[in-house]
Structure 1
Amino acid sequence: MAAAKRPATRRKTTKPVPAKCPDCDGNGEITQAVRVGARTGRLTDDHQTGLCLTCWGTGEAPTD
């Protein structure tokens, strides 16, 4: 009697994890201090968030 065939096992392939953006640490957003005043540009205690221009908000390091 012939032995029953077992289904071939497939290896799970994992996608490589992309490197984090060095400027925003993978968040996609950066914070900057708010400056007021025309000449001196005094710093305030407030901060504003914005889109990271290095990775365009994806959080992945650019691949040049």
Structure 2
Amino acid sequence: MATKRTTTKPPKSPVPAQPTECQPCGGTGNVAVTVRVGRKRRPVGQQDGLCLNCLGTGTDPES
């Protein structure tokens, strides 16, 4: 009696995980930076700045 040949199926590729949003910027890539003026450096307002955690991508770099 002849031996039975079996073939193995290739492993399925894992489904890529959804990237989570960055905590400091909330997924927008921008954070509010306080603007200071004068000799006493008093705060007068805020402007948008680049998120240094995700570098503007909005996704969590840890995931």
Q: TM-score, normalised by structure 1?
A: 0.65
The runs of 5 or more residues in structure 2 that have no matched partner are 1-14
The letter for the 2-side match of 1:42 is: R
Q: How much identity, in percent, do the aligned residues show? A: 41
In 2, distance between residues paired with 1:36 and 1:18?
A: 38
In 1, distance between residues paired with 2:62 and 2:43?
A: 35
**2:43 matches 1:56:** no
SS in structure 1 at match of 2:59: coil
Question: What does residue range 37-56 of structure 1 map to in structure 2 within 5 Å?
Answer: 37-38=38-39, 40-44=40-44, 46-56=45-55
In 1, distance between residues paired with 2:41 and 2:17?
A: 44
Equivalent pairs counted in the alignment come to 50
The equivalent of 2:9 in structure 1 is none
Let me know the Cα RMSD of the aligned residues.
2.1
Q: Which stretches of structure 1, 4 residues or more, deviate above 2 A after TM superposition?
A: none
Tell me the CA shift for residue 15 of structure 1. 4.1
The runs of 5 or more residues in structure 1 that have no matched partner are 1-13
Q: TM-score, normalised by structure 2?
A: 0.66
